[in-house]
Amino acid sequence: MRTEQEMMDLILSVARSDERIRAVLLSGSRANPSIPADRYQDYDITYFVHDIQPFYNNPDWVTSRFGKPLIMQMPEIMRDPVGDGHFVYLMLFPDGNRIDLSFVFTPYVDDGEPAVILLDKDRGNGFIPPLATPTDTIWHIRPPDELNYRSCCNNFWWCLNNVAKGLARDELPYTMQMLQEVVRAELHDMIGWYIGSIHGYNLSVGKSGKYFKRYLSPDLYRRFTATYSDSEPQHIWAAIETMMDLFHQLALAVGTSTGHPYPIEDEQGARQYLDQVRASLDNSVT
C-alpha cells in the first residue's frame, strides 16, 4: 500500500505539472485534527481550475496520472447528478487507497468544515482565501431546544406504529426501513444529545454515530448494539423493546439536563398500541 507521503506526493506532483490546476485543497477526515489517522481514510482532494471542460468526464486523464482503480464512480454522469457544473472522480485503487477528486471552477467558500490548503499557485489571489487552522467545531453536538427535543421524542414514538404494522403484515422490507432509517435516526439524535449532556457539547459523535462507543458507558453501548436485529420477527420485537427502553432512559436524562418536559403520554400511547398489535399476532398463532 502506498504510504500517506507517497499519496500526497502524487496528488501534488500531478497538480504542479499542470498549469491549468491552480490550487489544491484537502478536506474530509484527513484535514480533521480530531480524527485519528488510519489506512482507511479517503483522500478528499479538490483541484481548482478555470476551465472545467478538459477535466469533465475525462477518466483517461485521471487514470493516466493516478493509475487504474479497482472501481470508479463519477456522480455527475449518474442518475440524480448535483448539476453544479463541477466534476468528481471517486477512485478506489488496488493498494486500498481511495481518492475522491473534485474539479471545481468556482472560488472556495469556507463553511467551517476542516480544510487544508496543499497548494496555491496564485498565493491567495485565486480560488482559495486564507483559511484558519482546521477544527471540527462545525460537527459538534448542539443542545436541543424544546421544539427539537419534543419533535424527536414524538417522531420516535409515532413511527413505531408503522414498524408494528409492518410486522403484523409480514412486510419485512418496509418494517426494517422504518425501524432502521426513520426510528433509528431519532434514537441517534437522542444519543448524541445525551453524550453532550454528559461530556459537554464540544465534541462530535461522527457520521452516523460512529463514535458512540467512545462516549457511552459499556452497558449503554451494549444495549445500543442490541437494538440491531436479524430478520426474525421475534428478534425484531426484542430489538424494538430494547430501543424503546434505551430511548426512554436517555430522553429523560436529556430532558432533565435541558429543562425540557418529556412527553410521557406519547410513549404510553405508542407502547399501548404496540402491545395490542403484538398480542393480536400472538393470539393468531395460538
Could you report the per-residue pLDDT of 133-167, keeping only the tens digit for each?
999 999 999 999 999 999 999 999 999 999 999 99
Cell of 36: 485519528
Confidence at residue 124, expressed as pLDDT on a 0 to 100 scale? 81
**By the 8 A CB rule, do 17 and 55 touch?**
no
Closest CA to 69 of 50, 95, 48: 95
**Domain-wise residue ranges, the chain:** 4-136, 140-285
Measured CA to CA, the distance from residue 183 to residue 153 in angstroms comes to: 10
pLDDT class of 285 with cuts at 50, 70, 90: low
pTM score: 0.90
Could you report the per-residue pLDDT of 61-113, keeping only the tens digit for each?
999 999 999 999 999 999 988 888 999 999 999 999 999 999 999 999 999 99
pLDDT class of 195 with cuts at 50, 70, 90: very high
Confidence at residue 282, expressed as pLDDT on a 0 to 100 scale? 81
Looking at the predicted structure, is the pLDDT value of residue 201 above 60?
yes
Range 124-132, long-range pairs (CB < 8 A, 24+ positions): 126/22, 126/23, 126/48, 127/22, 127/23, 127/48, 128/23, 128/25, 128/48
φ/ψ (deg, to 5) at 241: -60, -45
- The CATH architecture to which 140-285 belongs is Up-down Bundle (1.20)
CA angle 273, 277, 281 (to 5 degrees): 165
Cβ neighbour number for residue 269 with a 10 Å cutoff: 14
Class of domain 4-136: alpha beta
